[in-house]
Structure 1
Amino acid sequence: MAEVPGLLVSAPSSGTGKTTVMLGLLRALAEDGLAMQPFKSGPDYIDPAFHHAACGRPSFNLDGWAMGPGLWQAIAGQAAGADICLAEGSMGLYDGVATRGQQGFGSSAETARAMGWPVVLVLDVGGQAQSAAATALGFRRYMPDLPFAGVILNRVASPRHERLTRLGMERAGLPVLGVLPRRGDLTLPERHLGLIQAAEHPDLEAAIAGYADFLRAHVDLGTIRAAAAGKPLPQDPPPLPRPPAQRIALARDAAFSFTYPHLLEGWRAAGAEILPFSPLADEAPAAEADLVWLPGGYPELHAGRLAEAEGFRTGLRHHAQTKPVHGECGGYMALGEALIDKDGTRHRMAGLLGLVTSYAARKFHLGYRRAVLCAPMAGFDAGTALRGHEFHYSTILEQPDAPLAAVSDADGAAVAETGSRRGRVTGTFFHLIAAEEAPASGPRRDCPTEEDRSPAETR
């Protein structure tokens, strides 16, 4: 069995600089001639595109809550042929959900332990010195069997600050892998779902090159390379998820871009033909497509252009007369009757579902989702249990169609956003990660009825 050593870049919390470190390390090590395989721990669908831009290899998510062992092995197998794996954690190192999923609770620490990747802990030491060692030591000892490479000190204010902070780390017996001076320009642009999309960055190549130069100047790359370790990869990994159709018309532009990379890779590997089209350019889906798939993204930022895209809307409606259409999150909103933007302006959408959503009535929705299908969805039979993740700020004002699934959160509590179906058209607010490989523990709810749904969903 092949072994590709790796590291997992994590931090005590979000906002500490781990994405900057991740991108800088990927590019710097790739410039040194190493074939880098990036991964993202957890259900993030924005960061993998930045990873790809940094090192030239597609990045894949690993998620212990949503993924069974077969899919995990299939994704880990994508590292074959690489020299080093580098994974980016989500949130804080030990953050996950309270109820166990298919393999775990979804924390980055679980990913590192499962893969045998030592943790590089990025610490924002602003406002403290020796005390930072107590934080690092707590993270090191919280899970004693977690492999640990050392720390990178970020946002160091001065040579004196560095000297004091290093003293604390030496006393705690923690290796310091790098010291990053405070710089205000080492941030990536953000919007309400986190980072902007990689394709939207005004000068992504220059930014990543700058991160690499910064990391090369302030981090011991040789020591970091030497710290990489890992467990053997599966010799004959299972295949990635199969495609829901042979020819898939996939919406792909600034409004629709959030699809998990392992799904697209699995579809292509199984011989499916991906036919991209741009609703924002008023392109209709390919007439020969067997399925139209509208991913999530930022339709709320482009609602006016989508409302004017008559060619896209006509082609979509024509397709739905005889063949399936599916949308997730932003794609689901675009299939609805209308979308109301943050200023309260109502924009006409495709009208294939009765859904009306609003960003003026803003509400935060975030978390894992388990959905048992009440009816078939493209590629899946009724009764199939799916796992995914929901992340948006919209509110349902109207949802008159039949529910698509009985949906619950990670702890098994019912979720009102059930998705919907009408004819051959289906939609969900969660982004699909995987179908369950075996029945999972926890309640299996009946499909919602009209009485179960809130007034806002049915009026």
Structure 2
Amino acid sequence: MTKALIIGAPRSGSGKTSVTIGLLRAFARRGIRVRGIKSGPDYIDPGFHHAATGIEGLNLDSWAMQPELVQNLLAGAADGTDLLIIESAMGLFDGISGGEGRTGSAADLSRLLGIPVLLVLDVSGQSQTAAAVAVGFRHYDPAVRMAGVVLNRAGSERHVRLSKAAIEAAGLDVVGAVLRNGELSLPERHLGLVQASEHPAIQNHIDRLADVMETSLDLDHILSLATEIAPQSGSTAAHLPPSGQRIAIASDAAFTFLYPHLGRHWRSVGAELVPFSPLANEAPPNACDACWLPGGYPELFAATLAAADHFRNGLARFAETRPVHGECGGYMVLGEGLEDAEGNRHAMTGLLSHSTSFATRKMNLGYRQAKLLAEGPMGKTGDVIRGHEFHYARVTDAGHDEAFAEIADGTGTPIGRSGGRRGLVTGTFFHAIARVTG
């Protein structure tokens, strides 16, 4: 049987990611087959989970995914695995007003799947008061069970004793304490953490995190808190269908954000994913029947992409007879031009007529629900797809293409038409996660 545990916290920045990555490596060192899972729409942390365990990460999202799909993905993740560690996004109960059990919070997953929570408390600037926070979590929602507490960023052993005694007097187990250490933090940039593949010494950093968790936390106690799960197979109807039988996937430092569950499902139903590198001036292979340009950081490589004539010409020829879709960064590359952070404009593929800029940044962040306006790589006209946007670039020229979809936010409030389509080419800032069925 597979066991599972959720790592939660009161807020972002509490140290959940460092604790999770360290625990994943520490348990893997013991020969435990452990997989990391991230709650919510996060394409960065699953890469660190993969780097820590050697097993591909996963996202579970109670807003974007119908409960049956969550069950299906959990069952797949549990297959051949001893332990699943689910890292919460933001605070444990943070989400949107999406209806009962559909807020996008990790607490939804705890209720739906019956998985207990290991609470990471940043105790810097407090001691006994941490017990009040822990007690609040214990009683806020009886259906979300707090299994234990990790004290994080403690200042001294005395600080640990005061905080631990107060929390244990309130009836919660403290499984250990991590002392304050600035070297445990991961590097950041404009979209959050640097990806695992870009970290020059990622394995050494993960080993340091694991060393700290092994010496600071009671791993046997933590393992005992995890609950055995018997996940149901669930329905696969809400999976996003593959756009072709052989899909060319742009894959390099500029195109990185493809959700693991999408690729896994596409392969499971017989599709072949064929990577190619626009940065290496490669065109989508001619033997493929669809092309997908994922999100990423094209603004950091705009000059290289602008000079990649073989890629641009090959993509244009491909698009004459086969579908091409771009998400977020991929959408930016499909446009006429991209302005980098310094204000320099670079010609892109021109397969769509919009232009984008990273020079005057504006954050766009949130869940999105898209109703497709025409049949294409994501589905048929009228199909509804749930996902999210997370980007700082903005459209400086909307162009003259037909819109890709009608977009609403996570609460259903209309935003308007978004993205573009011309011929067999489609693109949008919207990252697709799952379909809405029924």
C-alpha contact (below 8 Å) 2:35/2:49 kept by paired residues: no
Deviation at 1:167, TM superposition (A): 2.1
Q: Give the letter aligned to residue 46 of structure 2.
A: P
> Structure 1 258/356 Cα, relative in aligned 2: closer, same or farther at 3 Å?
same
- In structure 2, relative to structure 1, the CA distance for the partners of 1:187 and 1:405 (3 Å cut) is same
2:190 paired residue number: 192
Question: What per-residue deviation string (whole Å, max 9, x for no partner) do you get for residues 186-219 of structure 1?
Answer: 0111111111111100111111111111100000
- Pair 1:217 & 2:195 matched: no
**Equivalent pair of 2:240/2:433 in contact (CA under 8 Å):** no
Residue 298 of structure 1 aligns with which residue? 297
- Are the structure 2 counterparts of residues 410 and 238 from structure 1 closer, same or farther at C-alpha, using a change threshold of 3 Å? closer
Partner in structure 2 of residue 403 of structure 1: 403
Q: Which amino acid in structure 1 is aligned with residue 412 of structure 2?
A: G
- How has the CA–CA distance of structure 1 residues 274 and 235 changed in structure 2, closer, same or farther, with 3 Å as cutoff? closer
| Contact 1:116–1:230 (Cα < 8 Å) also in 2 | no
Question: In the TM superposition, what whole-angstrom CA distance separates every residue of 1:367-387 from its partner, at most 9, and x where no partner exists?
Answer: 010000111121411110011
Q: Tell me by how many angstroms 1:68 deviates.
A: 1.3
Distance 1:374 1:242 in 2: 17
Letter in structure 1 aligned against 2:410: A
Q: How has the CA–CA distance of structure 1 residues 224 and 237 changed in structure 2, closer, same or farther, with 3 Å as cutoff?
A: farther
Give the C-alpha shift of residue 230 in structure 1.
Answer: 4.1
Task: Summarize the Cα distance change of 1:293–1:235 in structure 2 as closer, same or farther, 3 Å threshold.
Answer: closer
Equivalents in 2 of 1:381, 1:73: separation in Å? Answer: 25
Amino acid in the other structure paired with 1:310: D
Residue 417 of structure 1: how far off its partner (Å):
6.1
* Kept in 1: contact 2:118–2:149 (CA 8 A): yes
Q: How far has the Cα of 1:357 moved from its partner?
A: 0.8
Please report the TM-score for the alignment, with normalisation by the length of structure 2: 0.97
Q: Which residue of 1 aligns with 2:135?
A: 137
CA contact (8 A) 1:41 1:108 kept: yes
Does the 8 Å CA contact 1:356/1:397 hold for their aligned counterparts?
Answer: yes
Q: 1:285-324 counterparts in 2 under 5 A? A: 285-324=284-323
Residues in 1 aligned to 2:338 and 2:240: alpha-carbon distance in whole angstroms: 32
Counterpart of 1:453 in structure 2 is none
SS for the counterpart of 2:418 is coil
Give the superposition deviation at 1:392: 0.3
Instruction: Give the deviation of 1:412 after TM superposition.
Output: 1.4
- How big is each residue's C-alpha offset from its partner over 1:414-446, in whole Å with a ceiling of 9 and x where there is no partner? 2246111111100011111011122xxxxxxxx
Distance in structure 1 (CA, Å) of the matches to 2:412 and 2:384:
13
Q: String of CA shifts for 1:242-290, please: whole Å, max 9, x gaps.
A: 4221010000011101011010001111111111001111111101111
| Structure 2 runs not aligned, ≥5 long | none
Aligned-partner Cα distance in 1 for 2:352–2:195: 27
Aligned with 1:381: secondary structure? coil
CA distance in 2, matches of 1:236, 1:430: 26
Aligned equivalents of 1:153, 1:38: Cα separation in 2? 21
CA distance in 2, matches of 1:238, 1:311: 38
Match of 2:355? 356
CA positional deviation for 1:360? 1.5
Amino acid across the alignment from 2:35? Q
Structure 1 segment 343-422 matched on structure 2, within 5 A: 343-400=342-399, 401-416=401-416, 418-422=418-422
1:151/1:174 contact within 8 Å kept: yes
- Return the offset for 1:70: 3.0
Give the TM-score, by structure 1 length: 0.92
Specify whether residues 236 and 126 from structure 1 end up closer, same or farther in structure 2 by C-alpha distance, changes over 3 A only.
closer
**Residues 26 and 82 of structure 1: CA distance in aligned 2, closer, same or farther (over 3 Å):** same
Aligned to 1:17: 15
Q: Which moved more, 1:238-247 or 1:143-152?
A: 238-247
- Asked whether the equivalents of residues 193 and 392 of structure 1 are also in contact (C-alpha less than 8 Å), the reply is yes
For 1:269 and 1:342, the matched residues in 2 are separated by 40
Q: Are the aligned partners of 2:367 and 2:409 in contact in 1 as well (CA < 8 Å)?
A: yes
| Equivalent position of 1:342 in the other structure | 341
Amino acid at match of 1:185: E
Amino acid at match of 2:398: Q
Task: Give deviations 1:102-155, integer Å, cap 9, x for gaps.
Answer: x51110111122122110111111111101111111112111121211110011
Matches of 1:99 and 1:70, distance apart in 2: 17
Query: Is the 1:77–1:237 contact (alpha carbons within 8 Å) kept by the matching residues of 2?
Result: no
User: Match of 2:424, as an amino acid?
Assistant: R
SS at match of 2:274: strand
SS at match of 2:183: coil
1:171, distance to aligned residue in structure 2 (A): 2.4
CA distance in 2, matches of 1:241, 1:416: 23
CA pair 412-228 structure 1, distance change in 2 beyond 3 A? same
Aligned residue pairs total 435
- Matched with 2:155 is 157
Alignment partners' CA distance in 1, 2:147 and 2:253 = 38
Distance in 2 separating the partners of 1:323 and 1:238: 26
Task: Provide the C-alpha distance between the structure 2 equivalents of 1:148 and 1:379, rounded to a whole number of angstroms.
Answer: 39
